[in-house]
C-alpha cells in the first residue's frame, strides 16, 4: 500500500473491474491505499452469470465502499453480436465494444473527477511470463497485458504484478474480501458469449444463465463439502471450473405426455491447476443426477442434459 501511495501521490486512478480475483484484489488494495482517488467502472456486457451484477455491486459498492460505476451496456453488446456465428469474430466484437464503452465512460467521468493518471490492472506474474519478455519467446498474448489503446495516455498501475494466483488470494483474504470472490472460479472475459454457441440472443442467454446457476449451486455445495472434509480449498478433490453451455442443439423430449423439441444443455466440470491441461471431474453420480433433474425440471425450454467427459487435450475447457 505504501508503494501504491508513493507511485500515485495525488494522482487519480481508473479501473475496469470485472469481479475476477486479480482485479478485485488490486482494487481493494488500491482503495485502502488512496481511497476516493480510485474510481472503478464495471461494464455489464449482458454476458454475465446469474446474480453477478448484484454480487459485484453489493461487495464493492456497499461492503468495500469503492466508488464503482455500473454501466449496463448489454443492449449495445447484444445488438453488435446479433447474427454473428463465428467464434473468433464474436470474441473480437466483445473486446472492441468493451474498450469503446470503457473509453466513453472514462470520458464522462472526467467532468466529475478530473483527468485520470493511472489505469489499474490486475496483471499477475504468470500473465507477464506468458506474454513474453523482451527478447524472450512469447507464449501467448494475455488479455490483461496492454489491453487499452495508447491514446488514453494512462500509466499502468499493477500492484499484484509480482504475485502468483495463490499469493493474490492470500492478499484478498487478508483484506477481508469474501470467499466467493477470493476463490472464484475462472470466468472468461467475453463471458457467456463463448458458452452460447453460434448466434447469441437474449432468449438463449436467459436459458443458459438459469441452467448455469443450477450447475454452480450444486458444484459449489460439493466443493464446500470437500473443503470441510480436507480443510483445503482448490484441493485435488475439488472441481476447478464448472459451468453450463448451450450448444444450440434442439432435441426431442416428452413432457406431460406431449412431445417437445427444446434446447439441450451441456455441463462441463473439470479438475486442473492452471487451465493448460484439464481432466473431466469424476463427480458423484448423485450430483450429476441432481443437476440433470433440476435443469430439466426448473429451466423452461430445456429437455435434455449431457456431461462432457473430454480431457484437455484434446478438448479445450470452453466449447468455443
Ligand atoms: P480453453 O478453452 O482454452 O480455456 O481450454 C483455458 C482457460 O481460459 C479461459 N478462457 C478465456 N478467458 N478470455 C478469457 O479471459 C477468453 O476469451 C477465454 N477463453 C477461454 C477458460 O475459461 C479456461 O479457464
* Torsion sign, CA atoms 30, 36, 37, 43: positive
The verdict on the CB of residue 165 being under 6 Å from ligand 1 is: no
Give pLDDT tens digits along the chain (320 positions).
999 999 999 999 999 998 899 999 999 999 999 999 999 999 999 999 999 999 999 999 888 889 999 999 999 999 999 999 999 999 999 999 999 999 999 999 999 999 999 999 999 998 888 766 544 444 434 444 446 677 778 999 999 999 999 999 999 999 999 988 999 999 999 999 999 999 999 999 999 999 999 999 999 999 999 999 999 998 889 999 999 999 999 999 999 999 999 999 999 999 999 899 999 999 999 999 999 999 999 999 999 999 999 999 999 999 99
> Are 208 and 266 in contact, with CB atoms under 8 Å apart?
no
- Identify the CA nearest to 305 among candidates 193, 210, 199: 210
Residue 28: what pLDDT?
Answer: 95
* Residue 317 CA to ligand 1 centre (angstroms): 7
> Are 17 and 56 in contact, with CB atoms under 8 Å apart?
yes
Q: Tens of pLDDT along 52-105?
A: 999 999 999 888 889 999 999 999 999 999 999 999 999 999 999 999 999 999
The verdict on the CB of residue 18 being under 6 Å from ligand 1 is: no
C-alpha cell at 203: 432468449
The verdict on the CB of residue 241 being under 6 Å from ligand 1 is: yes
The verdict on the CB of residue 189 being under 6 Å from ligand 1 is: yes
3-state DSSP of 284-308: CHHHHHHHHHHHHHHCCCEEEEEEC
Nearest CA, atom 3, ligand 1: 316
Residue 141: what pLDDT?
Answer: 43
The verdict on the CB of residue 316 being under 6 Å from ligand 1 is: yes
Burial degree of 167 (CB within 10 A; 0-12, 13-18, 19+): middle
Amino acid at each position: 500500500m505504501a508503494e501504491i501511495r508513493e507511485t500515485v501521490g495525488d494522482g487519480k486512478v481508473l479501473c475496469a473491474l470485472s469481479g475476477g480475483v486479480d482485479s478485485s484484489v488490486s482494487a481493494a488494495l488500491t482503495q485502502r491505499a488512496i481511497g476516493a482517488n480510485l474510481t472503478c467502472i464495471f461494464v455489464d456486457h449482458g454476458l454475465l452469470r446469474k446474480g453477478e451484477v448484484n454480487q459485484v455491486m453489493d461487495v464493492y459498492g456497499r461492503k468495500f465502499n469503492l466508488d464503482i460505476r455500473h454501466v449496463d451496456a448489454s443492449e449495445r453488446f447484444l445488438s453488435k453480436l446479433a447474427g454473428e456465428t463465428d467464434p473468433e469474430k464474436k470474441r473480437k466484437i466483445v473486446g472492441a465494444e468493451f474498450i469503446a464503452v470503457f473509453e466513453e465512460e472514462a470520458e464522462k467521468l472526467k467532468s466529475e473527477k478530473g483527468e485520470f493518471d493511472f489505469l489499474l490492472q490486475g496483471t499477475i506474474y504468470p500473465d507477464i511470463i506468458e506474454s513474453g519478455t523482451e527478447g524472450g519467446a512469447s507464449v501467448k498474448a494475455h488479455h490483461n497485458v496492454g489491453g487499452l489503446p495508447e491514446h488514453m495516455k494512462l500509466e499502468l498501475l499493477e500492484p499484484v504484478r509480482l504475485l502468483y494466483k495463490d499469493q493474490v488470494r492470500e492478499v484478498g483474504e487478508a483484506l477481508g474480501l469474501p470467499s466467493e470472490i477470493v476463490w472464484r472460479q475462472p470466468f472468461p472475459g467475453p463471458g457467456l458469449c463463448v458458452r452460447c454457441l453460434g448466434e447469441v440472443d437474449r432468449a438463449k442467454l436467459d436459458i443458459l444463465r438459469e441452467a448455469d446457476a443450477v450447475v454452480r449451486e450444486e458444484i459449489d455445495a460439493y466443493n464446500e463439502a470437500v473443503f470441510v472434509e480436507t480443510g483445503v480449498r482448490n484441493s485435488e478433490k475439488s472441481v476447478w471450473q464448472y459451468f453450463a453451455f448451450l450448444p444450440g442443439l434442439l432435441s426431442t423430449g416428452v413432457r406431460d405426455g406431449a412431445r417437445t423439441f427444446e434446447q439441450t444443455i451441456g455441463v462441463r466440470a473439470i479438475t486442473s491447476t492452471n487451465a493448460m491441461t484439464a481432466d473431466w471431474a469424476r463427480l458423484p453420480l448423485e450430483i450429476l443426477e441432481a443437476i440433470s433433474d433440476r435443469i430439466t425440471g426448473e429451466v423452461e425450454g430445456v429437455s435434455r442434459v449431457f456431461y462432457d467427459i473430454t480431457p484437455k487435450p484434446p478438448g479445450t475447457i470452453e466449447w468455443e
